Copies of this chain bind each other. A is one copy, B any other.
Amino acid sequence: MHQEQRERTHALLKSKSIHRALFANPANVTWLTGFARPWRAGADLYAGGPPLVWYEDGHFTLIVMDGQVAEAEAFSQEAGCAVIGYAGYAYEKAPQGHTLLKAALRQLVEASGNTGTVGVEARYLPFALAEVVRSSTSDLIDIDEWLTPYRLVRTDEELDKMRENFALIKIGQEAAKATVKPGNSEMDVWFAIHNAMQTAAGQTLHLGNDCVVGRRMGGPALDIEILPTDSFIVDLSTILHGYWSDSCVTYYATEPSSKQVAMHRTVADALELAISLARPGAIAREIDQTVRQFVMDAGYPSYPHHTGHGAGVIGHEGPRITPHSEEILEAGMVIMLEPGIYYPGETGVRLEHAVLVTDNGPEIISPYDLNIP
């Protein structure tokens, strides 16, 4: 699994004459190996440290706590990526995960035939582990963000994971539509979504982002009653196999007002425009400016957020479709596009689709209905 990612990485490091590297950014660890650390808060409290990937001249070794080895090996055996484990917490022994992790890392570094510079992801690598690497080498070089441009171009394997995720999102959006009614609360809608998605997945899932009456624009669901005049913004994400989705549809407690209908149709048109611009070679800020201007030209205020962003092993990443972003779209990128119109305290509409940029034009990979009135 994820062999293509490792080949890209090897080619990059080789071209930079980096023979050894330690990857500590959890997003990159997932991207390099397919191994996704459990998302649960506190799930790694027993651990000695984060999962790491050691690179040496084209060979990759994933370092994880014992409890994760079986899962990690399922990936490695497919892919020629070695896995080594260290004991985390076990009730029979004193916890010494951190010491064991350091020892495992030291052994890898010292066993390497190479000497000299080691690339490290300095924003993510704990200082204590950097010291282990440094003690066996002459120099550390910061390779934070080196993988990013390669990571943003998806492989078919990654797209399959994302499509599976978006199929769950569709179920969540349908549950939302059935629950947005006067008298229900924001939390009622959230519960319906979360339960429907987890039931469909057959497992517990993390659920983000916004589930609010349109007058609130965004935020987590609260015990706020839905009024008959409310629009309702459902901006959902979840994580599956380490990959994130994102989505947004706006619903109505009763029939939308003529103002809401006009807003919704304008946002749908803006989204369609944004999607049509998602082509290789497009400059991110030009998409943002064009779509934002379209909304303003229709007589509405500019939305106080980005027009879109990438999503993958991180929920919000590049290319950022914002007024400043010089990023250039490439075939294989997945971008979320999400224009909106808001009158805070009164009502609001936001619609979002996930789009795969291809040489043959944009392809929507988020299969839900936009509820256009």
Q: Which residue numbers of A lie inside 8 Å of B, CB to CB? A: 39-42, 45-46, 49, 89, 91-95, 98, 120, 122-131, 140, 142, 144, 187, 190-191, 194-195, 198-199, 202-204, 206, 208, 220-223, 237, 239, 244, 304-306, 314-317, 320, 322-325
Task: Write the nearest CB–CB distance from A296 to chain B, whole angstroms.
Answer: 15
Given contacts A122-B128, A305-B91, contact A220 B191 (CB under 8 A): no
Residue contacts A-B, CB under 8 angstroms, 23 given: A40-B41, A42-B206, A42-B208, A45-B314, A45-B315, A91-B323, A92-B324, A94-B324, A120-B127, A123-B127, A123-B128, A124-B126, A125-B126, A126-B126, A127-B129, A127-B140, A128-B142, A128-B144, A187-B199, A191-B191, A191-B195, A202-B223, A203-B220
The answer for the CA separation of A223 and B48 in the assembled complex, in Å, is 32
Q: Is B41 within 8 A of A206, CB to CB?
A: yes
Q: Main SS of chain A's interface residues? A: loop
Contacts of A131 in B (CB 8 A): 122
Q: Is A123 within 8 A of B49, CB to CB?
A: yes
Other contacts beyond A190-B204, A191-B194: 15, CB < 8 A = A41-B41, A42-B244, A42-B314, A42-B315, A45-B315, A93-B324, A98-B123, A120-B127, A127-B130, A127-B140, A187-B202, A194-B194, A195-B195, A202-B223, A204-B221
